[in-house]
Amino acid sequence: MLDLALQKLVASRRGSPRILRPSRLESAPARVSVVVPCYNYGRFLPDCLKSILTQEGVDIDIIVVDDASTDQSSQIAHRFTDADSRVKLIRNSRNKGHIETYNIGFAQATGTYVFLLSADDVLTPGALARAATLMEMHPTVGFAYGWSVPFTSILPPARTEARRWTVWNGKQWVSALCRRGGNVIRSSDALIRRSVLEKVGGYRKDLPHSGDLEWWLRAALVSDVGIVGGVDQMYYRLHGSNMSRVQYGTTLINLEETKRAFDAALTAAQDLDLRRTVYQTLARQALHFAIADFMSDAGGSGRVDSYKSFALRLDPKVAESREWAALERRRKAGIESARRNPIFLGREQVRMFSGKLGWRLWRFTGM
């Protein structure tokens, strides 16, 4: 019932994607090259490689690119290359960083499709075949992604039967992403057609923090986008810095890096309207962060003012927005008064409901 209601909501929106029933592929298995960049993740590498080697319904080869690790990564990778001819190891003579390491792996890919999987992550059973089948059935789709399940040490159960396919016109997907103001693909969780990869090129070295977002934008500007829905495609490992709570400095940096990614992709596409849209979205996001920071009493006026400065730089008219007025009302009332005021609390509940609806739509349409 919920899926039907969401499908009707999606269909009513301008520039909506096509929601399709998954099909079965009768032709020969697709060839997929999986690039596995690794830097000091030797302890995670066996689980990663086993999850690829046990994929059914596709013809795979694996390219492990060890970025001059100082642990046992290369030795562990060699155990797999010795045991299985489908696994190849490339070892950088010096540490070149993640962007160049990705691109080294891409240059060696020979499959019809390419998947980039970090050495600390794990594929769910059947993930590559599910994405490849969608793309085989819809040749205009340049890349396809799905849902990623976070985990720490024990893998939770995975959903492995796709319930729907969503196919977006690439430029409409980019437009929707501009209205959203951020990435919807966790890590590198997408299968890309190698012909599209060769057309758009690899990751940009000047975008080490948001290169994945810019890459997907660039690919979507030349092809359609597919989403494998109602299923889990990848396990995304949480550890170290991934588990830390996002702090003020990181949040503002993320906003700046997101802006840089959109700037790079949309400037190349010469689309000023979309860039204006994403600037407006990022400006409002900054004000939402400012409100949250103020209400938590975590940042003080200096942090709030930094968010406001960022918002004004991107969109001077944001000073006339509801978000700006909401922030100023709270600042005028003071933290304690704002926390007790039922008007502010009611508005927060409305915003939380809107956020939950947006999350459900994201799960349903991939956007």
The mean per-residue pLDDT over the stretch 59-82 comes to 98
State the maximum Cα–Cα separation within the chain, in Å, rounded to a whole number: 68
pLDDT bucket at 352, cuts 50 / 70 / 90: very low
**Mean per-residue pLDDT for 292-314?**
85
User: To the nearest 10°, the Cα dihedral for 331, 311, 221, 168?
Assistant: 10
Do residues 262 and 278 touch, judged by C-beta distance below 8 A?
A: yes
Q: Checking DSSP bridges between strand 164-168 and strand 18-20, what pairing results, if any?
A: antiparallel
- Determine contact, residues 188/106, Cβ cutoff 8 Å: no
Is the predicted pLDDT of residue 243 greater than 50, yes or no? no
Q: Can you point out the beta strands (E) in the chain?
A: 18-20, 30-38, 58-66, 87-91, 113-116, 122-123, 141-151, 164-168, 190-193, 224-237
For residue 269, what pLDDT is reported? 76
How many angstroms separate the CA atoms of 171 and 135, rounded? 17
Of these ranges, 241-250, 310-319, 341-350, the one predicted with the greatest mean pLDDT is: 310-319
pLDDT exceeds 90 at position 293 = no
In one letter, which amino acid is 78?
A: H
Average pLDDT over residues 270-279: 91
Task: Single out the residue of 67, 60, 73 nearest to residue 98, CA to CA.
Answer: 67
Q: What is the pTM of this model?
A: 0.88
Q: What is the mean pLDDT of the chain?
A: 87
Q: Determine contact, residues 211/99, Cβ cutoff 8 Å.
A: yes
Q: What are the Cα distances from residue 242, in Å, to 127, 148, 239, 256, 301?
A: 23, 14, 5, 19, 28
Instruction: State the pLDDT at residue 334.
Output: 83
Query: Do residues 192 and 219 lie in contact, with contact meaning Cβ atoms separated by under 8 Å?
Result: yes
User: For the segment 85-136, what is each residue's pLDDT rounded down to a tens digit?
Assistant: 999 999 999 999 999 999 999 999 999 999 999 999 999 999 999 999 999 9
Q: H/E element holding 73?
A: helix 73-83
Torsion angle defined by CA atoms of residues 335, 337, 339 and 345, in that order, rounded to the nearest 10 degrees:
-130
Segment of 8-12, 23-27, 168-172, 268-272 carrying the highest mean pLDDT: 168-172
